[in-house]
Amino acid sequence: MLLTVKNLKKYFPQKSGLFSKPALPIKAVDDCSFTLEKNEVLGLVGESGCGKSTAGRCILRLTEPTAGSIHFDNRDLLALSSGELKDIRKTMQIIFQDPLSSLNPRMTVGGIIEEPLIVHHRGSPIERKEAVAALLDKVGLPQSALNRYPHEFSGGQCQRIGIARALALKPQLIIADEPVSALDVSIQAQIINLMIALKEELSLSYLFISHDLSVVKHISDRIAVMYLGKIVEIGPAQQICLDPLHPYTKALISVIPEPSLHRSQKKTILQGDIPSPARPPSGCAFHTRCPVAKEECKKREPILEEKRSGRSVSCLYVNKKV
Amino acid sequence: MALLEIKDLSIQFSTDEGVLHAVDNLNLSVDQGKTLCIVGESGCGKSVTARAIMGLLPIPPAKITSGSVVLDTKDLLGLSEKEMRALRGNDIAMIFQDPMTSLNPVLTCGYQIQESLHIHDKITKKEAKEKALALMKQVGIPEAEKRFSEYPHQFSGGMRQRVMIAMALSCKPKLLIADEPTTALDVSIQAQILELLGTLKKSSDMAMIFITHDLGVVAEIADEIIVLYAGTVAERGTTKDIFNHAAHPYTLGLLESVPHISKEQEHLTVIPGTLPDPTDYQPGCRFYERCTFHSDLCKKDPVEEEITPGHRVACFHYRLKDQQY
């Protein structure tokens, strides 16, 4: 097991006024547990505000988790000192959503890709230049890119630069936070294919965070669906998409617009908005929008448990058939 | 007769890098009660076209170099600003991608809906408020009476978009232009808004121009589709023509590069390369460099050819579509 996340919690405190009641914290991630194996892709999906990005940032300790444990390569990430953390971060990297704003506009592309190598004292200047040239090749950029600046490149090319930078230290785990959401459709396919090819070639593991379930399904081995800071369903990608068990996953999949005129599924349109994560509903957090909610759902909180082999669902009314 | 007819519309922008050709010789028409979808990637000229219809282009730097936009026998491009103001919101209305930045943050949502009624219909404040409340209920805003006096920041993204739709519908426009209205919304909320637009369309004979980059959304809402590439029309036809019998290599590439949720795909087909520089278009087909079928023939400007009635393709090689793309 490469990565084991247990009972991860991240609460963001809110400021309250001088005389008002203390404000409730925003429960961005509330008791999430998942694992990631070597050379596996785990997709983390959910709508905005469900805590998927926060979970990703907690793993890298870019955001300090409130509680829980994160084990990477059998080392407890939360117990590390800052020096040890810097050391272990060589093996885990992140790719961001906005390709242009995540690159320093004053640095050349060569400088951007070389920087992680300098920070971690890897190789002599000549070796580093060679490494950078090889990385450019790997992500499909011309060598002429070396001395140019990020603004001279299109969105898709900037994302390739971001990927090259993430690969520079030969990481084992890459956390990709909505890496293709800002790109045009035709470019999106290029980047997805590149990421799949790199994963095979370098035996990487991805935590692929996205709101787009069709993209996640394409790249992931397993998918975890989040709602209001909690994982509601986790299991193999194909099974989740073709035979979802949790009512939220079911509804989410049924409303994904598909570029074809042959729709078999009937749409289940969820009513209302996503509740505030500061005041999640009692019992099952989804009961306010759930089309099949019963009285019991308001009172009792479901736990994420295995309902089919390899598939866990957090719903009181999904029967166990293991 | 078509409600809106655009003929030979060309729009340029003067920039520091030279003249940018945003739209070139665009022709389109929308009939009453129909939904036309304009699909394309960023920079293909879809939003610029919408703004040209609304008279919202910043002139300069924009310049309409040729063409006409005729709504109900009236050429919109020849109208004065005052005449255009009377038309905007009344005959044509528009909803934008980001509902937060298109609403005024210091006015209540109710006031903003009632404002356009007040300006165009010349009715009393009380009547306007009643009508505004009815509109809010029509677009599915719960507790309309209470929410009437709330401000945009108190609304969620989906609810704000409903407010925008209520404003757009307030004067019963003949044409509604929706510029990526669901792009900023979550899937479950997007489904709500698409359902709302669908029912509104059924209950009136309003025409709609729906601009989007998402082919999935197009399949759900369109009657007719225009695929734009780099400011020119690549292909046009009914929803069935485009999704079942796509003929242009670009359309085919787009359709195949999208991951499907209910389909098993080994590998995504990729359109190689990137969009051409809009300040430096070469003569001939603009898809030339990214197209697998290109030949010397493509160095001439392609003209739209009709394959079946209403289904037109601007490509010399469209018959090759049966071959593997």
Cβ distance of A273 and B158 shorter than 8 Å: yes
Token digits of residue B209? 């121009």
Burial of B111 (0-12, 13-18, 19+ CB in 10 A): middle
Chain A residue with CA closest to B254: the answer is A186
A25 close to A42: Cβ distance less than 8 angstroms? no
Choosing among B162, B188, B192, which should be mutated to test the A contact, i.e. which has the most A CBs within 10 A? Answer: B188
Whether residue A202 is contained in a domain is answered as: yes
Query: pLDDT at position B97, please?
Result: 83
Report the C-alpha gap between A212 and A179 in whole angstroms: 11
In Å, how far is A135's CA from the nearest CA of chain B?
19
Report the C-alpha gap between B261 and B263 in whole angstroms: 6
Query: pLDDT at position A73, please?
Result: 87
Distances (CA, A) of A167 to A105, A139, A173: 20, 10, 10
Average pLDDT value for residue range A207-228 = 92
Cβ distance of A242 and B254 shorter than 8 Å: no
Does B239 contact A at CB distance below 8 Å? Answer: yes
Does A185 contact B at CB distance below 8 Å? Answer: yes
Identify all chain B residues contacting A185, using CB atoms and an 8 Å cutoff. 41, 213, 215, 254, 257-258
pLDDT in tens, B123-133: 888 888 888 88
Identify all chain A residues contacting B97, using CB atoms and an 8 Å cutoff. none
B170 close to B92: Cβ distance less than 8 angstroms? no
Cβ distance of B194 and A257 shorter than 8 Å: yes
Please provide the distance, in angstroms rounded to a whole number, between the alpha carbons at the two ends of chain B: 38
Reported as a pLDDT band with limits 50, 70 and 90, residue B121 is confident
Token digits of residue B262? 């209910």
Query: Nearest by CB to A255, which of B42, B158, B187?
Result: B187
pLDDT at B321 > cutoff 60: no
B238 forms bridges with which residues in the sheet? B224
Reported as a pLDDT band with limits 50, 70 and 90, residue B137 is confident
Whether residue A281 is contained in a domain is answered as: no
Q: Give kind and range of the element (H or E) at residue B109.
A: helix B109-121
In Å, how far is A74's CA from the nearest CA of chain B?
33
Instruction: Look at B127 and A66; give whichever has higher pLDDT.
Output: A66
Does A159 contact B at CB distance below 8 Å? Answer: no
Whether residue A144 is contained in a domain is answered as: yes
Whether residue A265 is contained in a domain is answered as: no
Query: pLDDT at position A66, please?
Result: 92
Whether residue A297 is contained in a domain is answered as: no
- Structural domains in chain A (count): 1
Choosing among A186, A213, A242, which should be mutated to test the B contact, i.e. which has the most B CBs within 10 A? Answer: A186
pLDDT at A322 > cutoff 70: no
Average pLDDT value for residue range B152-156 = 85
Whether residue A188 is contained in a domain is answered as: yes
Query: pLDDT at position A17, please?
Result: 75
B209 close to B222: Cβ distance less than 8 angstroms? no
Cβ distance of A185 and B41 shorter than 8 Å: yes
pLDDT in tens, A280-300: 888 899 999 999 988 889 988
Chain B residue with CA closest to A46: the answer is B186
pLDDT in tens, A186-202: 888 888 999 999 999 98
Average pLDDT value for residue range A74-102 = 88
Cβ distance of B158 and A213 shorter than 8 Å: no
Whether residue A271 is contained in a domain is answered as: no
Query: pLDDT at position B323, please?
Result: 46
Query: pLDDT at position B324, please?
Result: 42
Instruction: Look at A257 and A40; give whichever has higher pLDDT.
Output: A40
| Complete domains list, chain B, with CATH | 4-91+173-322 (3.40.50.300), 101-172 (no CATH)
Average pLDDT value for residue range A203-207 = 93
Cβ distance of B269 and A157 shorter than 8 Å: no
Phi, psi for residue B75 in degrees, rounded to 5: -80, 110
Whether residue A306 is contained in a domain is answered as: no
Reported as a pLDDT band with limits 50, 70 and 90, residue B322 is low
- Indicate which CATH number applies to the domain containing A188: 3.40.50.300
Identify all chain A residues contacting B253, using CB atoms and an 8 Å cutoff. 186
pLDDT in tens, A251-284: 988 888 888 877 666 788 888 878 888 888 888 9
Cβ distance of B257 and A270 shorter than 8 Å: no
Cβ distance of B191 and A217 shorter than 8 Å: no
Query: pLDDT at position A40, please?
Result: 93
- How much is the ipTM here? 0.79
Reported as a pLDDT band with limits 50, 70 and 90, residue B292 is confident
Helical pair A155-167 and A185-202, crossing angle rounded to 10 deg = 20
Does B18 contact A at CB distance below 8 Å? Answer: no
Does B214 contact A at CB distance below 8 Å? Answer: yes
Reported as a pLDDT band with limits 50, 70 and 90, residue B259 is confident
Average pLDDT value for residue range B3-10 = 90
Identify all chain A residues contacting B259, using CB atoms and an 8 Å cutoff. 189, 192, 214-215, 217-218
Cβ distance of A274 and B254 shorter than 8 Å: no
Distances (CA, A) of B126 to B114, B141, B145: 10, 20, 14
Closest by CA to A132, choosing from A165, A107, A94, is A165
Identify all chain A residues contacting B191, using CB atoms and an 8 Å cutoff. 255, 267, 269-270
Reported as a pLDDT band with limits 50, 70 and 90, residue B264 is confident
Query: Nearest by CB to A257, which of B214, B243, B271?
Result: B214
Identify all chain A residues contacting B258, using CB atoms and an 8 Å cutoff. 185, 189, 214, 259
pLDDT in tens, A106-148: 999 999 999 999 998 888 999 999 999 999 988 888 888 899 9
Average pLDDT value for residue range A166-182 = 90
Query: Nearest by CB to B217, which of A188, A241, A257?
Result: A257
Query: Nearest by CB to B260, which of A190, A193, A214?
Result: A214
Closest by CA to B260, choosing from A28, A263, A228, is A263
CB pairs under 8 A between A and B: 117
Identify all chain B residues contacting A239, using CB atoms and an 8 Å cutoff. none
Reported as a pLDDT band with limits 50, 70 and 90, residue B325 is very low
Does B258 contact A at CB distance below 8 Å? Answer: yes
Domain that holds residue A75: 3-12+24-244
Average pLDDT value for residue range A216-226 = 93
